[in-house]
Amino acid sequence: MNAIGRRARVLVLGVALAASANSLRNGFVYDDVHVVVEDARLHVLNPAAIFTSQYWPPEVGNDPLYRPVTSLSLAIDWRLGGGKPLLFHTVNVALHVAVVALVLALASLVLPPAAAVVAALLFAVHPVHAEAVANVVGRAELLAAVGYLAAVLAFVRYGTRERGGVAGPAIVFAASAIAVGAKEHALTLPAALLLVDAAIALANHERPASRLRRSWPLWAAALLACGLYLWLRSRAVSAELAPGLVAPGLEGTTAAQRFIVMLPAYALWARLMLLPVVLSADYSPNVLQPTLTPGLGHLAGLALLAGAVVLAWRLRRRVPAVTLGLMWFATTAAVAANVVVPTGVLAAERTLYLPSVGAAVALAGLWSLVAGGPRLWWVTATALALLAVRTVERNTLWRDNESFFPRLAREAPASYRMHAVRGWWEFRRGNVAEAERLYRAALAIQPLDPAVLAELGSWYLRFGLYAPADRYLTLALRVDSTRSGAAERAIIAR
């Protein structure tokens, strides 16, 4: 490990805190209302109930997402903070600062001190992280990242010891359990550990197999944590890994077809990492248009993937940090990539929180190739300052619902989901006519989204409009027969 001075560590953590501190003024916005404010399960601190139920409130519908560590942390915040948003946001900021500290430690394993500091600073101020840090439900990303990085660092530390013990495997197991219990994409952790182990072996001119002979108990501990999570999930929610609600355009597709459909999203990821000026809280159709018909977005995504592979291969010996960073991104984004299994979203900025650790390390590795001279430092400082300003501004998106929804409409005017969530908000405010217009605009773009159909039917039922309630709830059931809540409401509507 390359030594990082105390002043540098204080600088990095101070910048991370400064870039996220204004989010402490935020309230409960968007999904926070469903997941925190209106979920009575979290208002009573009952760990047994949390570990035996799904993440989303049952009122929203059956959902196989299982995030007990995240749910438990939110329940603790509700108990300690009296249901006020300040404690929730304080914990989010503290977790982000902790993640930045772990990123600095990881970067110092593969980069010179100056480049490691640049990597951590880039991660600390990157605007794409605002959704994970400034919105309460981003807690899942933050907790998963803390556990994931802690497991990797413990794996590296204890994997170098000739004689094993119980401390190393115990720490790796605990950190891995936190990660996978926070969010399911941390199931990629065993693969990431093998990747890091191989990278360190190559950097030290060792055979990867020789390191694995020493570190296999640590790897097995992470695998055991993942297995325990899947067992608990199978008992509480579902034994199937695929989500109940699949993103539009991915229904009934094979892995190869999903890879083609997702190519424009991969190009979007690259743009968000390299030029995060234009951001959006929603990338649903028709912001991204899922199609198998090749277009410019598909070509751009394919070219970027090919370029990343070539770059990783060419620099594997000269700057192994670049190779490790790119492979980290690919590994940790494997779930969000929608290839192995389809998920409920095509793309979301919050899902880039953990993968962007790899992007920061890779970019800092490239930076180290040209490092030297005060001019580069001035350019670097200016770029980081601009990113920090953008992050501070972006944090305000999640201030309150009154400002969030109009801004969402400006950012994603083509999104069907934007119309639906604005319709949900207008119904809550009692603006029935405007809410109907927005929901119908959403269904004009995506006519068979079962969640939107069920939401609209439920609102009609709440307002005593039984005929349209029955129509939309019944249609939601025809599209997705697992929506038991919709079935019950359809019976009531009749």
Q: Is the pTM of this model over 0.75?
A: yes
Q: What is the pLDDT of residue 315?
A: 93
pLDDT above 90 (res 494) = no
352-396 residue pLDDT tens: 999 999 999 999 999 999 877 788 999 999 999 999 999 999 999
CA distance 419 to 425: 10
CA distance 228 to 225: 5
What share of the chain in percent tops pLDDT 90? 79
238 or 175: which leads in pLDDT: 175
433 or 482: which leads in pLDDT: 433
What share of the chain in percent tops pLDDT 70? 94
pLDDT above 70 (res 9) = yes
List the one residue out of 415, 462, 128, 131 whose CA is nearest residue 273: 128
Q: What is the pLDDT of residue 63?
A: 73
37-56 residue pLDDT tens: 999 999 999 999 999 999 99
Q: What is the pLDDT of residue 296?
A: 96
* Buried-exposed string 436-465: b where 16+ CB fall within 10 A, e elsewhere: bebbeebbebbeebbbbbbbbbbbbbeeeb
Q: What is the pLDDT of residue 214?
A: 78
CA distance 349 to 288: 13
List of domains in the chain? 6-244+317-398 (no CATH), 415-493 (1.25.40.10)
**Residues 116-119: contacts with CB under 8 Å, at least 24 apart:** 116/2, 116/4, 116/364, 117/4, 117/8, 117/11, 117/12, 118/364, 118/367, 118/380, 119/360, 119/361, 119/363, 119/364
pLDDT confidence of 317, banded at 50, 70, 90?
confident
Q: What is the DSSP string of 194-256?
A: HHHHHHHHHHTT--HHHHHHHHHHHHHHHHHHHHHHHHHHHHHT-S--S-SSPPTT-TT--HH
Proportion of the chain in helix, strand, coil states, percent, rounded to 5: 75, 0, 25
> SS3 for 22?
helix
CA distance 331 to 192: 7
Average pLDDT, the chain: 92
173-230 residue pLDDT tens: 999 999 999 999 999 999 999 888 887 777 677 776 767 777 889 999 999 999 999 9
pLDDT confidence of 446, banded at 50, 70, 90?
very high
Residues 148 and 334: beta-carbon distance below 8 Å: no
Element (H, E) at 11: helix 6-20
Q: What is the pLDDT of residue 336?
A: 95
- What average pLDDT score do residues 106-132 get? 97
End-to-end C-alpha distance for the chain, whole angstroms: 67
56-78 residue pLDDT tens: 998 776 678 999 999 999 999 99
Q: Which residues are CB-contacts of 183 (< 8 A; sequence separation ≥ 6)? A: 67, 70, 140, 141, 143, 144
Local structure of residue 28 (DSSP, 8 states) = -
Report the 10 Å Cβ neighbour count for 254.
9
pLDDT above 70 (res 243) = no
Q: What is the pLDDT of residue 69?
A: 99
- What average pLDDT score do residues 127-151 get? 99
pLDDT confidence of 491, banded at 50, 70, 90?
low
Q: What is the pLDDT of residue 374?
A: 84
Q: Mean pLDDT: which of 5-9, 127-131, 479-483 is highest?
A: 127-131
- What average pLDDT score do residues 458-468 get? 90
